[in-house]
Structures are given as structure tokens and as C-alpha cells.
Structure 1
Amino acid sequence: MNPPPSPPAPRRRADAAANRARIVQAAREAVAESGDIALNAVAKQAGVGQGTLYRHFPTREDLLAEVYRQEVDELVAAAPALLIEYEPAEALARWFDRVADYARVKRGVLAAVEVAVWRDLTTHSLGPIGDAVTTLLEAGRADGSLRPDVDARDVILLIGYLSRLDDAEWDTRARHLLDVVLDGLRPRT
């Protein structure tokens, strides 16, 4: 005899879902701007009370983990979407623009959470991000706009330097260095 099916997960009310989305967006902006996140400031920016914030995210780490997961999900989803709209090399260039934004948030999140939390977050994001890079590289290899001898691991290692940039030089260097990487991914003439 089979056990009875589990009841479906409760649906969030529309206002609760909207509150959650505003909280995550406010936290994302706080992390991207300063790398620091004060929960009372996030609640205020999101237009919710402290109780509402804590109902959705019992700890600071829970909130930061959700910000990070959403960043990864959006970054991964961007790769195939960009390939629909742009040629592979241009799609990769635009994806790198998104990588710069992602890396800034990632750096802020990882600086704010305990080591065990950030290890878990990064372990679970490498596979999907590698898959997104592979999708872009394969499309570029197929049309000849990207080198055939580069794989996703190469690209991930190259863009990993973003974590070493100082805040003071982020705006002037991050996208420039991604352009340098992109130039290195194009076939030699």
C-alpha cells in the first residue's frame, strides 16, 4: 500500500509574495551598493515591518542566500535568452556584463555570511553557471566566433579575478577586464 500523497506546498498570498520580492530586491541593492546589509534598513527600503522580514527570512544568512540564489538563477537563465536575440560572441559579451553585476553581489553576499554558508552557496552555483558558459561557448564555436580550444572551466577561472578587485576600482576595471577576456576568447586571425 502506498502512503498518502503529501499535501501541496502552501501558496503564498499575493501580498506576501510581493513583500518577499521587495525584501529580496532591497537586500540585493544594499549588497551591490555597499556590501553591507542591515536588516532594519532592508525592511524599511522594502516598505515592510521587521516582523514581515523575519517571517520570510528568519536569519540574515537566509536572506543573503536567497539573494545569491536569485542572482545565480538570473545569470544562468540569461545565457540561452541572449543566444535567441544575439549572435554568440555578442551574447557572451552581454552575458559578461551580467557577470560583472553578479560578481559584485556575490562578493557582498560571501563577505557577509559565514564560511560554511558561502561554501554551500558557491558549490551549488558552479554547475549551473558552468552549464550557461558551455551553452554560450558551444554556440560561438559552432558559428566560428569563439575559439574551439576554450571550455567553461577556463572561462570561470578567468572571470574569478573579479573577486580580487577593490571596491574603489570596480567601476573602472570590472567590465574592462571582462572585455579583455572576451577578446581572448575570439579566434586568432
Structure 2
Amino acid sequence: MTEESSRGLSGRRGHAKRNDEVILTAARDVFVNDPSAPISAVAGRAGVGISALYRRYAGKEDLLRQLCLSGLHRFILEAEEAEAEPDGWAALVAFLGRVVDADVHSLTERLAGAFTPTAELREAAARAGELAARLVQRAQAGGRLRADVTPEDLALVLEGCAAIRVADAVRTVQLRRRHLALLIQGLAGPGDPSLPGPAPQPGELSRWRPEG
């Protein structure tokens, strides 16, 4: 392959990647606002033809799976970056703030049960769960996170923040941050009295369709 043709291929790939990002951004906006919206609404929002969209995704479920996978990848990235923070409590608080600001859990809250997960999605979810558990353990080991908090409690915190949504996007961010700050006060240890139980169990909060 010549240098010129290599540059052309790279350009085409770059253009395709940009188009895909535009489609995913549009899909996120459309489906968070209206989970029942047709896939044609995504094409319209993205400014692409429906055929261009179908060249990338077989249908709405395929698009939703990709959105969910992108969200899991962002969650994993934030959790991995938080692990570099030496203080366990500071790592957990920073992680929660970044995930809330990234609005990762709006899709979970709005699109629950709308698609069948793939093995890749389940693998990413397992990795996200492992990282969340490590963040909880580190914060508890340092004595700042109450001992009866579980990684599943974090999922409820994040979904609760994502459920806050008003017409003004800036105000939505402000309200979510305020709500998270209140919840973080409740997470701080040692905590008295104990949290009412039992705690959420692994898998109990899954929003995906069951296998089979």
C-alpha cells in the first residue's frame, strides 16, 4: 500500500469514527429523552441517512447495546483512574463525582430491560463490578466509609443522581452534584445507627434481560 493510499484509508477510517461518535451522541440524547423513540429519530438527530445508520448497527437493540458498552467503558476508565489516588476515601468520592458528571447511569435508569446483553457486555459489567468493589474496600479500610456499605449501594447512589433531570442541562448538573454531596455524607463512617437492611445483593439490581 502506498503512503498516499494509506493516508486515504486513515482518513476514511477517521471519518467513519467521527460519524459513529455523532450517531452514538444522538442516540443517547434521543433514547434518554424517549426510550420508545424509533431508530429513525436517531438518524434525524445525527443528520445522517437511515442507511448510514444501518450500515453500522443492525437495529435499535444493537445500538442500545453499544451505548451501554460505551457507558461501561467510561465507568471502568473512571474507576481505574481513581485507583491511582492514594487515599481510599478521596478516590471513592472523586470517582462518584466524575461518573455522575459523565451521566453514565442515565441509560441504565431509562433503558432498563430494553435489550439483551452480549457476552462482551457481561464481561465489561463484571470488570466494572470488580473495580467498584475495590474502591469500596479501600475506603472502608481507611475508616472513612461506613462498614455496612456495599458496592451495590454505590449503584443505587449513581442511579439516584441520574434520575434527577430538569429542562436546563446546567441546572441538572448542579442538582445532581448537590444530591451526591448529601449522599456522600451518609456514606461516611462509622455511621450510627446501622443502615436498614438487608443490603442489595449482587445481581439483584441488574436491569438487563435474563439470559435464555
Question: Under a length normalisation based on structure 1, what TM-score does the superposition of the two structures give?
Answer: 0.69
Report the AA paired with residue 133 of structure 2: T
**How many Å apart are 1:64 and its aligned residue?**
0.7
Structure-2 separation of matches of 1:119 and 1:68: 11
1:162 match: 160
Q: Which residue of 1 aligns with 2:150?
A: 151
Q: Distance in 1 between matches of 2:159 and 2:180?
A: 10
Of 93-102 and 118-127, deviating more is 118-127
Q: Give the superposition deviation at 1:25.
A: 1.6
**2:185 matched residue in structure 1:** 183
Supply the RMSD in Å over aligned alpha carbons: 3.8
Q: CA deviation at 1:34?
A: 3.9
Give the SS at the match of 2:112: helix
Amino acid at match of 2:32: A
With normalisation by structure 2, the TM-score equals 0.63
Q: Structure 1 residue 26 and structure 2 residue 36: aligned?
A: no
Identity %: 24
Alignment deviations for residues 112-137 of structure 1 (CA, whole Å, 9 cap, x no partner): x25xx169898555422321212322
Equivalent runs, 1:102-117 vs 2, <5 Å: 102-110=104-112, 113-114=114-115, 117=116
C-alpha change, 1:161 and 1:44, in structure 2 (3 Å) is closer
* Aligned residues of 1:65 and 1:121 also touching (Cα < 8 A): no
Instruction: Name the aligned partner's letter for residue 127 of structure 2.
Output: P
SS of 1:102's equivalent? Answer: coil
Encode CA deviations 1:16-74: one digit per residue, 9 max, x unaligned. 22222221121112233444543223223323221110010011000011001110110
The structure with more helix, counted as a fraction of residues? 1
Structure 1, unpaired ranges of 5+: 1-10
User: Any conservation in 2 of the 1:35–1:105 contact (CA below 8 Å)?
Assistant: no
Unaligned ranges ≥5, structure 2:
1-9, 167-171, 192-212
Q: Secondary structure at the match of 2:84?
A: helix
Offset, 1:141: 3.1
Letter in 2 for 1:162: G
For structure 1, which segment, 147-156 or 130-139, has the greater mean C-alpha deviation from structure 2 after superposition?
147-156
- The Cα of 1:83 is off from its aligned counterpart by 4.0
Q: Which moved more, 1:55-64 or 1:29-38?
A: 29-38
| Aligned mates of 2:180, 2:119 — CA distance in 1 | 26
Q: CA deviation at 1:142?
A: 4.2
SS in structure 1 opposite 2:146? Answer: coil
Q: Which residue of 1 aligns with 2:135?
A: 136
